[in-house]
């Protein structure tokens, strides 16, 4: 059984919470970041050794930028980030009822 809410017109709604972002699929475009109203996401860099780094650090050579889940507990399950992602990099799931 999953957590289910009801919209104002009585339609059942099951939130789909962001679990992860596949760093191999993410192209760092920032669309998901722009639509997230809850501050769940954070842009990170990957250096030439495949390690995470600050994408805005001038002393580090960033190979590419990708979006990461920074505050998963803040996700409200709206799935807006999944809707705008052109590479299907996000993985979402419903939350089990307590």
What CATH number corresponds to the domain at position 58? 3.30.70.20
Q: Which domain holds residue 84?
A: 23-93
Stated pTM of the model: 0.86
pLDDT in tens, 23-79: 999 999 999 999 999 999 999 999 999 999 999 998 889 999 999 999 999 999 999
Asked, for residue 18, whether it belongs to a domain, the answer is no
Do the bridges between strand 41-47 and strand 52-53 make them parallel or antiparallel, or are there none, so unpaired?
antiparallel
Exposed e or buried b per residue across 54-91, where buried means at least 16 C-beta atoms within 10 angstroms of its C-beta: ebeeeeeebeebbbebeeeeebebbbbbbebbeeebbe
Structurally, how many domains does the chain consist of? 1
- Domain assignment of residue 17, yes or no: no
- Is residue 2 assigned to a domain? no
Q: Is residue 5 part of a domain?
A: no
Confidence label for 1 from pLDDT (cuts 50, 70 and 90): confident
Q: Note whether residue 36 is domain-resident.
A: yes
């Amino acid at each position: 059984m999953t957590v289910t809410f009801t919209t104002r017109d009585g339609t059942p709604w099951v939130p789909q919470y962001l679990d992860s972002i596949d760093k191999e699929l993410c192209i760092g475009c920032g669309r998901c970041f722009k639509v997230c109203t809850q501050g769940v996401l954070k842009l990170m860099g990957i250096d030439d050794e495949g390690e995470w780094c600050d994408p805005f650090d001038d002393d580090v050579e960033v190979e590419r930028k990708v979006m990461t889940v920074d505050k998963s507990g803040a996700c409200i399950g709206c799935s807006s980030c999944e809707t705008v992602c052109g590479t299907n990099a996000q993985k979402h799931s419903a939350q089990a009822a307590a």
